[in-house]
């Protein structure tokens, strides 16, 4: 299922991508013509303000000028987000022209409607041309919670706008268990939205990645039994206090070597003790991501 917006032809040369041209190093995939994962140097509860230019691979997805989800920059033409971020209701998918993506954004207060003031901030926004949810995803469900967004114009990389490397392969999936990773976003800073607000400054938080079996055990102890699928992973703090939250959905979970391993997906509340956040496991979808991008490149 693919949803496309009508738009003028792109006059910029496209970046050709074939399986043989992919850069794959130690379980990482780079789908961009520039090095991925380089930085300057759902929902985030218990996080810290990031530094300007510290997290360069994140995009803010907006509807009617307001932030509602996160996404990750994959290459010059594609963003990766959660499947539920492209849904409007249980069985309805948003139209591409209902979403815009803001790149290089640091503070939400620097965003005016759908436009950025270039004098005060180097961020800029782009439209969405095509929405490609995973074929196994259904709005309102948590399985296969992943989608690709093709932008209407080529992304120009700057010191504050860079692509992220993707985790790939079963070996890479196994290696993330037990590591620490960073989740980022502009989501709510506490679970009760009536008592708080979304973050103005881009937040980041360091969380622990748990084995799926360990995560299931924690949920059972909290009397909220659930199965964590192979295509998912859990991350947070066993004692709670640090987690993604509302409006961080679709955002990145990244290892210390700047590899995207997870997409903010679901969970129970925000930062509750014994209930880590549940993420889409990116490595399980690496083949699908490459296939979709390759297919669209071949059509140009």
CATH 2.40.10.10, applies to 167-284: yes
Query: Residue 141 burial by CB count (10 A; 0-12/13-18/19+): exposed, middle or buried?
Result: middle
Distance, in Å, from the CA atom of 70 to the CA atom of 65, rounded to the nearest integer, reads 14
pLDDT the model gives residue 27: 61
Q: Looking at the DSSP assignment, which residues form a beta bridge with residue 151?
A: 128
pLDDT the model gives residue 7: 34
pLDDT the model gives residue 249: 94
pLDDT the model gives residue 209: 96
Per-domain boundaries in the chain:
167-284
Rg (CA), the chain: 18
Query: Which alpha helices (DSSP H) does the chain contain, by range?
Result: 169-175, 212-221, 286-299
- Asked whether 209 and 177 are in contact (CB, 8 A), the reply is yes
Residues noted as catalytic: 84, 145, 249
pLDDT the model gives residue 170: 58
Q: What is the mean pLDDT of each successive set of 10 residues along the chain, which is 300 residues long?
A: 42 32 58 62 58 92 93 98 92 94 91 55 89 96 98 94 87 74 86 69 92 96 92 91 82 93 91 90 96 90
Helix (H) or strand (E) holding 48: strand 48-49
Residues 6+ away with beta carbon under 8 Å from 147: 80, 81, 82, 83, 85, 86, 131, 132, 133, 134, 137
The label of the residue with tokens 């929902």 reads 43
């Amino acid at each position: 299922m693919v949803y496309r917006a009508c738009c003028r032809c792109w006059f910029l040369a496209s970046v050709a991508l074939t399986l043989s041209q992919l850069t794959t190093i130690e379980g990482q995939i780079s789908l961009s013509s520039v090095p991925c994962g380089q930085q300057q140097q759902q929902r985030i509860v218990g996080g810290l303000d990031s530094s300007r230019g510290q997290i360069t691979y994140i995009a803010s997805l907006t509807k009617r000028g307001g932030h509602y989800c996160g996404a990750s920059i994959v290459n010059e033409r594609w963003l990766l987000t959660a499947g539920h971020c492209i849904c409007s209701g249980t069985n309805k998918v948003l139209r591409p022209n209902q979403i815009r993506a803001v790149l290089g954004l640091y503070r939400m207060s620097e965003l005016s409607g759908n436009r950025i003031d270039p004098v005060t901030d180097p961020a800029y926004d782009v439209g969405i041309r095509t929405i490609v949810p995973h074929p196994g995803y259904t709005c309102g469900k948590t399985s296969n919670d992943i989608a690709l967004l093709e932008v209407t114009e080529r992304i120009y990389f700057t010191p504050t706008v860079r692509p992220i490397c993707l985790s790939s392969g079963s070996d890479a999936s196994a290696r993330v268990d037990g590591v620490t990773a960073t989740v980022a976003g502009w989501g709510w800073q506490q679970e009760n939205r009536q008592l708080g607000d979304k973050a103005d400054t881009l937040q980041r938080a360091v969380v622990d990645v748990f084995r799926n079996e360990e995560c299931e055990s924690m949920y059972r102890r909290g009397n909220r039994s659930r199965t964590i699928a192979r295509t998912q992973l859990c991350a947070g703090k066993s004692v709670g206090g640090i987690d993604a939250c509302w409006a961080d959905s679709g955002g990145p979970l990244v290892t210390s070597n700047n590899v995207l391993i997870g997409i903010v997906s679901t969970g129970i509340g925000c930062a509750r003790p014994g209930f880590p956040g549940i993420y889409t496991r990116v490595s399980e979808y690496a083949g699908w991501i490459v296939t979709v991008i390759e297919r669209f490149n071949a059509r140009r």
